[in-house]
Structure 1
């Protein structure tokens, strides 16, 4: 809470005196709020957890493998959800492999994520 003093003229508030450091901190907080509101308004609603990003960037894993591991699934688990063999999931997880839209949709549904997360 900001400490302030109100200056009145004819019984009506006309100025507020605030410690400058507190005022500067308040302005910075308001800039953060405005930046958040702007980002939220321009958002498509799709979010990628930091753990998934780290698996892809730091560990060099494919998006499918990163999401599967993030969801706590084995290749066999994912295969069962999609209706394919575990070896097919291993091939899908090959980094750099191009997938058909229908495959992306099946994998996304099995992982309960938005298929747009697999868009190039």
Structure 2
């Protein structure tokens, strides 16, 4: 027996699920109960900062996580002035993207959008 659901799947060109559409109230309930892994994607607040304020992904994530430039620089092991050279770069070199992601405690690919 197939149960009715308000959830819809949108498949990619290979027929594999790529997106899920669900009622917003259900999404809110799931996100509050931590059944949605926010580490797997970029929060809309971060995306909005990048597009609305012309922030780099690293800058938007830092602000979203409420960290100072000094906090991130210290976690990387570089000076604030050295970090500020990378801070506004839209597309970081792979090695720096990995270091900044580790400092922010996110996956490196979340800085590459």
Please say whether Structure 1 and Structure 2 have the same fold, judged by a TM-score greater than 0.5. yes
Tell me the secondary structure at the aligned position of residue 61 of structure 1: coil
The corresponding residue for 2:107 is 114
TM-score, scaled to structure 2: 0.65
The corresponding residue for 1:100 is 93
5+ residue gaps, structure 1, are 1-28
- 1:60 and 2:34 are equivalent in the alignment: no
For the 8 Å contact 2:58–2:87, the answer to whether it is kept is yes
For the 8 Å contact 2:97–2:111, the answer to whether it is kept is yes
CA distance in 2, matches of 1:93, 1:106: 12
- 1:91 and 2:65 are equivalent in the alignment: no
- 1:79 and 2:69 are equivalent in the alignment: no
TM-score, scaled to structure 1: 0.62
Structure 1 outlier segments of 4+, above 3 Å: 36-41
**RMSD after superposition:** 2.5
CA distance in 2, matches of 1:53, 1:40: 17
Higher Rg: 1
CA distance in 1, matches of 2:50, 2:112: 15
